[in-house]
């Protein structure tokens, strides 16, 4: 069972994308919803609001513990902002579990949101990949042990650190995304 953090944001689109890959999911709103999960999705949305809700629902520490214990995670857009060890422009606290620095809203405002063709590295078993960017963050620093799986121009947009797969775009909004497929693979290997 894959849990999808469902405090705010596009969690329904993630559940749909997981179902298309044959993965059963549930919505995570309380610490007890994390029990027995085989994977976890941190969706896009508004990271500042999500942080406040994580705090209000007492989810912050249980999430950190579950992810630190090696639960496979797919984090997208606001999700990568939640996990980053450093968040800039404006800076805000984060869970600090992914060794990257991100700059919020770095590609401009809503009007500058776009679908871009990405460059993939050998780590991703697909020749082409598109990325749906919605008020996306930019990864401005990649730390040790973080592999870059795809770039948009010079910018890393899909990274992996152990069991954490994180994108600055929205793979759940692209039909049959190889990123969701890779996550499904990570979940199946682990369970």
Do 33 and 2 contact (CB within 8 A), yes or no?
A: no
Q: Specify whether 77 is catalytic.
A: yes
Question: What gap in Å lies between CA 43 and CA 24, rounded to an integer?
Answer: 16
Backbone angles phi, psi at 168, to 5 degrees: -85, -10
Query: Which residue in the set 34, 41, 98, 134 belongs to the binding site for ligand GLN (CB under 6 A)?
Result: 134
Residue 44 interacts with ligand GLN (CB under 6 A): yes or no = yes
Contact residue for ligand GLN among 14, 34, 41, 45 (CB under 6 A): 45
Per the annotation, the verdict on 33 as an active-site residue is no
Given the rule CB under 6 A, which of 11-19, 40-48, 67-75, 152-160 is the region that contacts ligand GLN? 40-48
Which span sits near ligand GLN by CB under 6 A: 14-22, 52-60, 75-83, 171-179? Answer: 75-83
Active site residue 170: yes
113-132 positions binding ligand GLN, by CB under 6 A: none
Tell me: does residue 46 bind ligand GLN (CB under 6 A).
yes
Nearest approach in angstroms of CB 138 to ligand GLN is 11
Is the previous residue joined to 35 through a cis bond, with omega within 30 degrees of 0? Answer: no
Distance CA 53, CA 189 (A): 31
Q: Please, what is the minimum distance in Å from the beta carbon of residue 27 to ligand GLN?
A: 18
Closest CA to 115 of 152, 158, 148, 159: 152
Pairing verdict, β 129-133 and 84-88:
unpaired
Compute the Cα dihedral for 168, 170, 176, 182 and give only its sign. positive
Active site residues: 77, 170, 172
Question: Which residues of the chain form contacts with ligand GLN (CB under 6 A)?
Answer: 44-47, 77-78, 81, 104-105, 134-135
């Amino acid at each position: 069972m894959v849990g999808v953090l469902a405090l705010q944001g596009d969690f329904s689109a993630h559940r749909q994308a997981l179902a298309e890959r044959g993965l059963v999911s549930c919505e995570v709103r309380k610490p007890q919803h994390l029990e027995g999960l085989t994977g976890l999705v941190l969706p896009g949305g508004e990271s500042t609001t999500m942080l406040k809700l994580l705090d209000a629902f007492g989810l912050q520490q249980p999430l950190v513990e579950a992810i630190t214990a090696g639960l496979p995670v797919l984090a997208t857009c606001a999700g990568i902002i939640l996990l980053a060890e450093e968040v800039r422009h404006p800076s805000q606290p984060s869970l600090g579990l992914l060794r990257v620095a991100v700059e919020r809203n770095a590609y401009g405002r809503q009007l500058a949101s776009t679908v871009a063709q990405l460059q993939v590295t050998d780590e991703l078993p697909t020749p082409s990949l598109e990325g749906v960017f919605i008020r996306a963050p930019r990864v401005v620093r990649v730390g040790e042990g973080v592999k870059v799986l795809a770039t948009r121009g010079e910018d890393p947009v899909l990274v992996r650190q152990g069991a954490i797969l994180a994108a600055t775009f929205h793979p759940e909004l692209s039909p049959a995304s190889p990123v969701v497929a890779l996550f499904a693979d990570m979940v199946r290997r682990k369970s």
